[in-house]
Chain A
Amino acid sequence: MLLSVSAIDTYYGSSHILQEVSLEVSEGEIAALLGRNGVGKTTTLRSILGLSPPRRGSIRFAGEEIAGLPAYAVSRKGVAYVPDDYRIFPDLTTDENLEIARRLSPRMGIWNRERVLELFPKLSELSRSKGINLSGGEKKMLGIGRALMANPTLILLDEPSEGLAPLVVANLVEVLGQIHEQGVTILLADQNLKFCRKVCGRGYVLEKGAVRFGGGMEEIWGNEEIIRKYLVV
């Protein structure tokens, strides 16, 4: 297993957000966290990275315990994060946003500026634009590109399909497929079941901070009870 999360409990102040969440992601797969707004998908990703450390439980990544490590240490072990609001550095240009991630990563690999621009040709026109001037869609591409520049083993991808037009979603499916082909493992959180079915092999269904179901995407897709209870708005 590349990533094993076992029974983590995460709190924001005194509110208990994640309750004994357990999940596993094996090397080379794309797995999904499914569930409605506010069920703890983002918190799960943040807990893994160390931004919202769990109070109890264990997180093992590539055989090492990473629960309790600060985010920068987890990042250097090969975990990259793309938040749902992208968090592009507003004061840096597109190129600088990419390059800074490469410079801060101790890891070598196939990803560099040229490869990222091949994946997102649009970004090459924007190389000197500051982050603050990019559109939402451009920021999303740059967020994924910045994550790749660190040559991570695992990417935590929050709400990739949110707010995108159908045509753009189709393009995103293709891009994620290309990233996957290069051997990068992805754990993504998304509400869009159709999108997840196209991209992911397995999924975990969350509700009220707990995992209600885990299994193959086709299994989830075919289970009307789960869809009605936990996924359909």
Chain B
Amino acid sequence: MQSIVHVCLAGLSSGMFIWLVASGLTLIFGVLGVLNFAHGSFYMLGAYFSYTVLRHLFPNFWLGLLLGPLCVCAVGFVVERFFLRYVYRLALPYQLLLTFAFVLIFDNLVKIVWGAGSLTPPDIGFLAGSVPILGRKFPVYNLFIIGVGPLVAVALWLALERTWAGRIVRAASSDREMASAIGVRVPALYTGVFVFGIWLGALGGGLAVPYVGLLTPGMGETIIIEAFIVAVIGGLGSLKGAFLAALVLGVLSSFGTRYFPAFDMFLTFILMAAVLLVRPQGLFGDAR
């Protein structure tokens, strides 16, 4: 019982990182119609920028989390405004090629700037230590992460459903042309949504700094695959689906790692295959 609860909690906290990356991925796909393969790289950049802020500027967790992802937003702005914008009208393979090119570019830039080896984040003492749960210790920081995920989900939902900016985003995502016919500057809106989606991924990266223990130039690749699986299981473009799928996948892979180490990713893919066989559009995707 005790170990099952702990495996679940560990799964929930790792699921939250997948959710943060998948939320940005889903939002960008839902509104812009672009599958941003480079989204994991923005997660990685979020981690590296936050690391740099913490190590060289201010050893304060919140400042790192604020400034790191903001720098990544600037990178995201350049990517959308000067590159991605030109492939919206092209077929999916072109979008994937372009965003995959950015995966390679960012991986190599990180190697040039921060070195090819892994980096150990500075110990800033934020929420360090652990609490006993059912007689076994669990890191406080991981509990914090388990809280942040749903907070982001609720905030996103409120922003999309209850604010006019959110309603305009929903209108433009269902009918880009009619939105422009009533006065929406669609290109500017796309830039805004892309940069916001990037911020969500980079926030995940910033939060991962005290969590992962080591930063490596390839850390974006692992998470983008999981985030893609989550987005597909949840139904492409559905934030609700992505959130639920991230929880399920996090917990499932945590069980996999604990009890069937040889089948870790295998379980994940089985889950995806099973969902897609029964519901090809994903849990909450519409069939269009």
Q: Which residues of A contact B (CB under 8 A)?
A: 49, 51, 70-72, 75-76, 80-81, 83, 87, 89-92, 96, 100-101, 103-106, 146, 150
Q: B170: which A residues are within 8 A, CB to CB? A: 89, 91-92
User: With an 8 A cutoff between CB atoms, is B185 at the interface?
Assistant: yes
Interface of chain A, main secondary structure: mixed
**Interface check B117, CB cutoff 8 A:** no
- Count how many chain B residues have C-beta atoms less than 8 Å from C-beta atoms of the other chain: 17
Q: Interface segment, B35-43, B172-180, B225-233?
A: B172-180
Q: Does B167 contact A (CB under 8 A)?
A: yes
User: In the bound complex, do residue A72 and residue B174 qualify as a contact, i.e. CB atoms below 8 Å apart?
Assistant: no
Contacts of A103 in B (CB 8 A): 164
Which B residues are in CB contact (< 8 Å) with A72? 180-181, 183-186
Min Cβ gap B72→A in Å is: 29
Given the complex of chains A and B, what is the CA–CA distance between A222 and B185 in angstroms?
45
6 tightest Cβ-Cβ pairs between the two chains A and B: A104-B183, A87-B178, A71-B180, A89-B171, A75-B183, A81-B181
Query: Do residues A75 and B174 form an inter-chain contact, with CB atoms below 8 A?
Result: no
Closest CB of chain B to A129's CB: distance in Å?
15
Asked if A70 and B180 sit within 8 Å, CB to CB, the answer is: yes
Cα distance A227–B206 in the bound complex, in angstroms: 70
B interface residues, Cβ below 8 angstroms from A: 164, 167-168, 170-171, 174-175, 177-186
Q: Majority SS of interface residues in chain B?
A: helix
**Among candidates A80, A92, A106, residue contacting B171 with C-beta atoms closer than 8 Å:** A92
Q: List 18 A-B contacts (CB under 8 A).
A: A70-B180, A71-B181, A72-B181, A72-B185, A75-B183, A76-B183, A80-B182, A90-B174, A91-B174, A96-B167, A100-B164, A100-B168, A104-B182, A104-B183, A105-B183, A106-B183, A150-B182, A150-B183
Are B180 and A100 neighbours in the complex by a CB distance under 8 Å?
Answer: no
* List of A residues within 8 angstroms of B164 by Cβ: 100, 103
Q: How far is the CA of A31 from the CA of B225 in the complex (A)?
A: 57
Known: A71-B177, A83-B178, A92-B167. 4 other contacts (CB 8 A): A89-B174, A91-B170, A101-B182, A103-B164
A227 to B: closest C-beta gap in Å: 32
Give bound CA distance, A36 to B74, whole Å: 52
Residue numbers in A under 8 Å from B168 (CB-CB) = 100, 104
Q: Which of A80, A100, A106 contacts B167 (CB under 8 A)?
A: A100
Residues of A within 8 A of B179 (CB): 89
Known: A100-B168, A103-B164. Is A49-B181 also a contact (CB below 8 A)?
yes
Determine the distance from Cα of A51 to Cα of B26 in the docked complex, in whole angstroms.
28
What separation, in Å, do the CA atoms of A87 and B168 have in the docked complex? Answer: 15
> Which residues of B sit under 8 angstroms from A106, Cβ to Cβ?
183
**Bound Cα distance A81, B178 (Å):** 9
Q: Taking CB as reference atom, which chain B residue is nearest A104?
A: B183
Q: Which residue of B lies closest to A156 (CB)?
A: B181
What residues on A are CB-neighbors of B175 within 8 Å?
87, 89
Note all chain B residues with C-beta closer than 8 A to A51: 177, 180-181
Q: Output the nearest chain A residue to B170 by Cβ-Cβ distance.
A: A91
Known contacts A72-B185, A100-B167, A100-B168; A89/B180 CB under 8 A? no
Interfacial chain A residues near B171, Cβ < 8 Å = 89, 91-92, 100
List the B side residues contacting A92 at CB < 8 Å. Answer: 167, 170-171
- A75 and B182 contact, Cβ closer than 8 Å, known pairs A89-B174, A91-B174: yes
A149 — nearest CB in chain B belongs to which residue? B182
Contacts of B180 in A (CB 8 A): 51, 70-72, 75
A90 to B174, CA, bound (A): 7
A92 to B164, CA, bound (A): 11
From the candidates B177, B182, B185, name the one contacting A146 in the complex (CB within 8 A).
B182
* Nearest residue, chain A, Cβ from B183: A104
How far is the CB of B238 from the nearest CB of chain A, in Å?
12
- What residues of B have a CB within 8 angstroms of the CB of A83 in the complex? 178, 181
A209 to B197, CA, bound (A): 43
Q: Which residues of B contact A75 (CB under 8 A)?
A: 180-183
In the assembled complex, the CB of B49 is this many whole angstroms from the nearest CB of chain A, namely 34
Interface core residue of A70, A89, A103, A105 (most chain B CB under 10 Å): A89
How far, in whole Å, are A150 and B168 apart by their CA atoms in the complex? 15
Interchain CA distance A81-B180 in the complex, whole Å: 11
Q: Identify which of B175, B181, B184, B185 gathers the most chain A CB atoms within 10 Å of its CB.
A: B181
> Which of chain A's residues have a CB closer than 8 A to the CB of B183?
72, 75-76, 101, 104-106, 150
